[in-house]
Amino acid sequence: MNPKSIKGDYRTNCERLLGDLHTPVSIYLKVRDMYPQSVLMESSDFHAGENSLSFIALCPLASIGINRGIVTMSYPDNSKEEAPLSETFTVADALNGFIGRFKVTGDNANVCGLYGYTTFNAVKYFEQIPVKESRDETNDAPDILYILYKYIILFNHFKNELTLVELLSDGETSGLSELEAEIGNRNYASYNFLAKGVATSTLTDEEHKANVRRGVA
């Protein structure tokens, strides 16, 4: 893997809208079906200007995931790379190398970062703490997953303002008009939630009781 090769060179295209008639959840319900793996990160602090931001991210361009010690990187050209973690190739090395593959310039470029999650089980990559491995055949989610998105909807609660941020490569046509039309749509799909299968645990009852006893002690 050549960490110096650029996989994405983007400029931002931005549009600002009034946000007084919207909430992050209402917008997310409207746009989540446009692209898979869309995410909502909602602020719980609307009182201070510096913390009153919510984010909706749409249309994955690239991603880095780490599962069972294997780093998987997916790029906008549909290419993939895999590499095992080691003493000389750590999580920090993988993330920094992945981030270095992309260049973003323009207004609000600072919000066009990686959005994702780090699970509790990822502690095994940073500390000498044994973690019981489990595998779900239907949903074997990575221990760590971060995604670079094409569209970011920035919701400023303090100003009741929406900022739409789009990443464009050279010669690419903007799609912000379609996104704006979807935000203005008063109708959106709703779904029922149904659980499938039986509830399971990675621990037996006795293992859980033993953990509780260790915690009490």
Q: What is the pLDDT of residue 202?
A: 78
Q: What is the pLDDT of residue 138?
A: 67
pLDDT band of 1, cuts 50, 70, 90: very low
57: exposed, middle or buried (Cβ count in 10 Å: 0-12, 13-18, 19+): buried
Residue 10's contacts (CB-CB under 8 Å, 6 or more residues apart) are 102, 103, 104, 105, 112, 167, 168, 169
pLDDT band of 170, cuts 50, 70, 90: very high
> What would the mean pLDDT of 183-195 be, rounded to a whole number?
82
Q: pTM value?
A: 0.86
Q: Which domains does the chain have, with CATH numbers?
A: 8-216 (3.60.120.10)
Q: What is the pLDDT of residue 89?
A: 96
Question: Rounded CA gap, 121 and 89, in Å?
Answer: 19
The mean predicted confidence, pLDDT, of the chain is 89
pLDDT (tens digit per residue) in 44-85: 765 665 668 999 999 999 999 999 999 999 999 999 999 999
**Residue 147, token pair as written in the block:** 């995604």
pLDDT band of 193, cuts 50, 70, 90: confident
For the chain, percent of residues with pLDDT exceeding 70 = 93
Q: What is the pLDDT of residue 47?
A: 61
pLDDT (tens digit per residue) in 3-47: 457 788 999 999 999 888 888 999 999 898 888 899 999 887 656
Q: What is the pLDDT of residue 190?
A: 79
Which stretches of the chain are assigned E, i.e. beta strand?
Answer: 8-18, 39-41, 53-67, 70-74, 80-84, 102-105, 114-118, 144-156, 161-168
Q: What is the pLDDT of residue 88?
A: 94
